[in-house]
A and B are shown apart, each in its own frame.
Chain A
Amino acid sequence: MAQSNSGPYRDAERGGATGDATNTISQRSAPSRRAFIKGVIASGAAASAAGYLFRGPGVPSAHAQAAGTVERLVTLNVNGATRRVDVLPQETLAHTIRYKLGLTGTKLGCDHGECGACTVIMDGVTVYSCSTLTHSVRGRKITTIEGIEGPNGKLHKVQAAFVEELGPQCGFCTSGQVMAAVALLEQNPHPSVEEARLAMSGNLCRCGAYDHYLKGVMRAAGEA
C-alpha cells in the first residue's frame, strides 16, 4: 500500500485513520470475509469468521500449487538491512515482519486498520502494516520499532521520553505510538500540542494513556 500523501498528518489528510486502509482491506478481505461454513444446514444460517488469516512461518503451504497462492521471493529494506523473503500475494506487511522476519515488536491489535498497534514507518510516513500488502513495499524503506534505537541500544529520544512520562500502561499499543511519534518529529521537530495530538490520533490506547504519550512526545521535542 503506497501512500501518496506525505507528512505525519496522515489522519487529517486522508479523513480519518482508516481512510487509506479501506481499499487495501477490501481487496484483502475478499477471500477473508466470505462465509466460512458453506455447509451450514439451517434455515437462513450464515456463518462468519472473518479476521486474521495467513500462512504459517516456514511451513510448506498446503495449497502451494493452487492459483494465487504461490509465494514469490521479494527483497525488502527493513531497518536498513536487505531482507529476502518468500511472500504470498495476499500477505500483509505485518505478517511478513512478525512471522517471517522475526520482528515481533510490531503488534496486531485489530488487523483491520483501526487501532494503529501495527504502525511502521515507510519512507518517512507512518502506515498500518496490517493493511499494507508486502508485495507493494518492494524498494521502500521500512522502519519498525526494532529499528529506531541508536547504536549500542541507546534509546531514541521518543523512547526515553515515553519511559520518563510513563507513556505505556499495558504496552500493547506502545510500539505503534513510538513509531507515530518518531515519524512526527522527523517531519516536524517542534510540533504544537495540537499538531502532536493530531499526529498521534491514528493510534488507539485502550488503557487511556493518551495524555502520557502526548507529554512524552512534547518532552522528546524538547517542549516539556
Chain B
Amino acid sequence: MSITRNKRRVVVAAIVVAAVIAVGIGIAAWSIGGSGNGYAKATTASSLTLADATAFTTAQLYPGATGDLKLRLTNPNSFPVRVTAVSGNGTITSDKGAACDASTGVTFTNQSGLALDVGAGATATLTVPSSVSMSNASDNTCQAAVFTVPVTVTGTSNA
C-alpha cells in the first residue's frame, strides 16, 4: 500500500516537472525581434525602437580619432532590457552633403559584451564607447558634421 502510494507520488511529481519545463520552453520560444510573433499566451513583445540622437552628440571625431556612438533607444516592453550588442548595418552618412558622404572616413566597429540598460517602457540615451573611428580619408567638408550610423541593437530581458 505504502509502495503504491509512493509510486503514485513519483508519477505525479514527474508530470509536474514535465509541465514546468514545458512552460519554461514556451517562455524561451517567445521572440520579440523582427517579426514580433510569439507563442506565448501572455502579451506580445515588441521590438526596440531608435530615435534621432543628434541632440545628445558632442563633437568628438577628427581624422585619427575615435568617439562614442549615441543611441536614443525606447523599450516598449513591460520588462527592462539590457543592450548587449550593437552592429553596423549600412552606409554611414553625414549632414554635410555629397562631398563628405563620398569620403566620410568614418567606420563603426561592431560591439558585444555591452551592458546598456533601458527600463520597462522607458526611453534612454545610450553611449557605445570608442566604437566609431575617423581615418585620414575624411573629406575636409566633414568638419562640424553629425554622422548617421545605421545599426542593429540586440539585447536581453533584464528583469
Same complex = no
Residues of A at the B interface (CB closer than 8 Å) are none
Enumerate chain B interface residues (CB-CB to A < 8 A): none
